[in-house]
């Protein structure tokens, strides 16, 4: 008999208090923060779904790793444990540790990108795009059409559009093709093995290397196991190694699936490029056996990698995210389908059709979720993407609110609470009003802009 209840596959060993606040207190916090949720104190948040990056709970064995960490400058045992754990899943020749994913991106693109180059991806994550553009190169997103349609039920909405990729490879100067697994910016949607093989074949034809942005590789492998024909009987580790086998290297943030609070790496097979990247690392991050991390961080990542591919964990992870999405859908809240691995995305433009995109329906919803229930979510819409370089504004393709789920951190009762708050806010959707921006920086305005409600 398989029971329906999703039981968390862990017991709680150490607890963090959640401070309960009143609606009046939260209204005052919003005023003080200029209605920007990034400017709140996290202690004033009850359920923090701003991001799943570095916010997960570590296991007993990861905390033990903190104690075991060896802080030798060069050649520490913690480094060798880290390197072996990475190579066990991603058997690339060279592993270069970094303090975050974006540091790996910066090192790689400083060596291979530059003016005149074009780098395709299914969808570039914002730091990936920014690091490419910083070198003067062009970043293009080539996800399949279904990946841009919130309602499409395609099982692999992160797949690359192979015909579009072929065209770019024929016409542009492409130093590397990237594939982001899962496709974070596109809703945490997975990429199939079949599509990876197709991208590989094109890269072979044009003699171009393929790299993975592998931040959520384990969730992607679990979706392959449960959705791709012929994969159900395979172990997650084997699927991960097959994913890795199509690529020549990877960039990685250990703050995602590896369940660490900090860290990342760059891995690759090309000896000459690896040497140049290591030189850059020493210049800007640290020596090649720690890369800006402490030995104890390397232990935590090595242990986290083992835990990330355990099927009990992944089943719980993916099903608990779907549990929240299904509860919202049942309450009539429009959510992006199918549910991805790390987050639930609410279609705020559909929920709040009376708020013009330039009055930020996603942001209005995120502010209301905080005011009513102390839930912090993240607008992914016109606030984040609507400002053009010349300072003018246009509506983003979608106005979404992302509820990102930290790993192993919240229980089913927390999800029930979130669903109840969202349903309560959605029931009063007509009363919500938009906001205007009273102050904004020139770039990445969502982090620091100040807003005022339109009365």
Ligand X SMILES: *Cc1c(COP(=O)(O)O)cnc(C)c1O
Please tell me whether residue 157 binds ligand X under the rule CB under 6 A.
Answer: no
Residue 78 or 180 with smaller CB distance to ligand X: 180
- Residues 49-78 vs ligand X: string with x where CB under 6 A? ----x-------------------------
Q: Which residue is nearest to ligand X (CB)?
A: 101
Cβ neighbours of residue 257 closer than 8 Å, sequence gap 6 or more: 215, 216, 217, 218, 219, 308
Q: Which of 125, 178, 211, 265 binds ligand X (CB under 6 A)?
A: 125
* Beta carbon of residue 384, minimum distance to ligand X (angstroms, whole number): 14
* Beta carbon of residue 123, minimum distance to ligand X (angstroms, whole number): 9
Residue 345, phi then psi, degrees to nearest 5: -110, 125
Please tell me whether residue 361 binds ligand X under the rule CB under 6 A.
Answer: no
Residue 46 or 195 with smaller CB distance to ligand X: 195
User: Going along 298-368, which residue ranges are E strands?
Assistant: 343-347
Name the one range near ligand X by CB under 6 A: 107-115, 252-260, 307-315, 432-440.
252-260
Task: Give the span between the Cα atoms of 376 and 369, in whole angstroms.
Answer: 7
Task: Give the span between the Cα atoms of 298 and 26, in whole angstroms.
Answer: 38
Task: Give the span between the Cα atoms of 153 and 146, in whole angstroms.
Answer: 8
Please tell me whether residue 261 binds ligand X under the rule CB under 6 A.
Answer: no
Task: Give the span between the Cα atoms of 147 and 157, in whole angstroms.
Answer: 4
Burial 235-267 (b: 16+ CB within 10 A, else e): ebbebbebbbebbbbbbbbbbbbbbbbbbbbbb
* Beta carbon of residue 451, minimum distance to ligand X (angstroms, whole number): 25
Name the one range near ligand X by CB under 6 A: 148-156, 222-230, 250-258, 298-306.
250-258
Q: Which of 97, 186, 249, 264 binds ligand X (CB under 6 A)?
A: 264
Provide the 10 A C-beta neighbour count for residue 230. 8
Please tell me whether residue 209 binds ligand X under the rule CB under 6 A.
Answer: no
DSSP 275: H
Residue 128 or 367 with smaller CB distance to ligand X: 128
Strands 400-404 and 118-121, by their bridges, are unpaired
Please tell me whether residue 215 binds ligand X under the rule CB under 6 A.
Answer: yes
- Continuous segment of H or E residues that includes residue 356: none
Please tell me whether residue 128 binds ligand X under the rule CB under 6 A.
Answer: yes
Residue 239 or 404 with smaller CB distance to ligand X: 404
Residue 184 or 382 with smaller CB distance to ligand X: 184
Residues 78 to 107 in contact with ligand X, rule: CB under 6 A: 100-102
Give the distance between the most distant pair of CA atoms in the chain. 62
* Beta carbon of residue 255, minimum distance to ligand X (angstroms, whole number): 5
Counted residue by residue, the chain has a size of 455
Residue 255 or 376 with smaller CB distance to ligand X: 255
CA nearest to 185, candidates 372, 396, 448, 333: 396
Residues 287 to 326 in contact with ligand X, rule: CB under 6 A: none
**Footprint of ligand X on this chain (CB under 6 A)?**
53, 100-102, 125, 127-128, 180, 184, 213, 215, 253, 255-256, 264
């Amino acid at each position: 008999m398989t029971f329906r209840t999703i039981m968390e596959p862990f017991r709680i060993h150490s607890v963090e208090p959640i401070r309960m606040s009143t609606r009046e207190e939260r209204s005052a916090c919003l005023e003080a923060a200029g209605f920007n949720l990034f400017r709140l104190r996290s202690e004033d948040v009850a359920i923090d779904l701003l991001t799943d990056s570095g916010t997960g709970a570590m296991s007993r064995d990861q905390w033990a790793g903190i104690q075991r960490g060896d802080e030798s400058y060069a050649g520490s045992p913690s480094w060798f444990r880290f390197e072996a754990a990475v190579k066990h899943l991603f058997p690339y020749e060279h592993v270069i540790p970094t303090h975050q994913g974006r540091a790996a991106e910066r090192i790689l693109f400083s060596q291979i990108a530059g003016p005149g180059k074009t780098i395709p991806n299914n969808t570039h994550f914002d730091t990936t795009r920014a690091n490419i553009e910083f070198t003067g190169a062009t970043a293009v997103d080539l996800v399949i059409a279904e990946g841009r349609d919130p309602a499409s039920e395609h099982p692999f909405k992160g797949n690359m559009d192979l015909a579009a990729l072929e065209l770019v490879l024929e016409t542009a100067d492409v130093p590397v093709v990237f594939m982001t697994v899962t496709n974070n910016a596109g809703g945490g949607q997975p990429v199939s093995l079949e599509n990876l093989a197709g991208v590989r074949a094109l890269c072979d034809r044009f003699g171009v290397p393929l790299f993975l942005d592998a931040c959520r590789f384990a969730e992607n492998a679990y979706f392959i196991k449960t959705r791709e024909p012929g994969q159900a009987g395979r172990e997650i580790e084997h699927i991960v190694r097959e994913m890795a086998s199509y690529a020549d290297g990877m960039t990685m943030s250990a703050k995602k699936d590896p369940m660490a609070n900090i860290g990342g790496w760059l891995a690759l097979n090309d000896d000459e490029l690896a040497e140049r990247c290591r030189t850059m690392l020493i210049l800007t991050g640290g020596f090649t056996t720690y890369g800006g991390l402490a030995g104890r961080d390397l232990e935590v990542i090595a242990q986290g990698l083992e835990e990330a591919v355990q099927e009990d964990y992944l089943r719980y992870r993916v099903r608990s995210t779907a549990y929240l999405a299904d509860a919202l859908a049942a309450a009539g809240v429009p959510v992006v389908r199918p549910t991805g691995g790390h987050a639930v995305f609410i279609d705020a433009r559909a929920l709040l059709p009376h708020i013009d995109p330039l009055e930020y329906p996603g942001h209005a919803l995120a502010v209301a979720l905080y005011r009513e229930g102390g839930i912090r979510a993240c607008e992914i819409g016109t606030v984040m993407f609507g400002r053009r370089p010349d300072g003018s504004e246009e509506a983003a393709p979608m106005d979404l609110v992302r509820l990102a789920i930290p790993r192993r951190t919240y229980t089913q009762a927390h999800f029930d609470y979130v669903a109840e708050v969202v349903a309560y806010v959605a029931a009063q959707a007509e009363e919500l009003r938009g906001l205007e921006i009273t102050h904004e920086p020139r770039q990445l305005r969502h982090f620091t802009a100040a807003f005022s409600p339109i009365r």
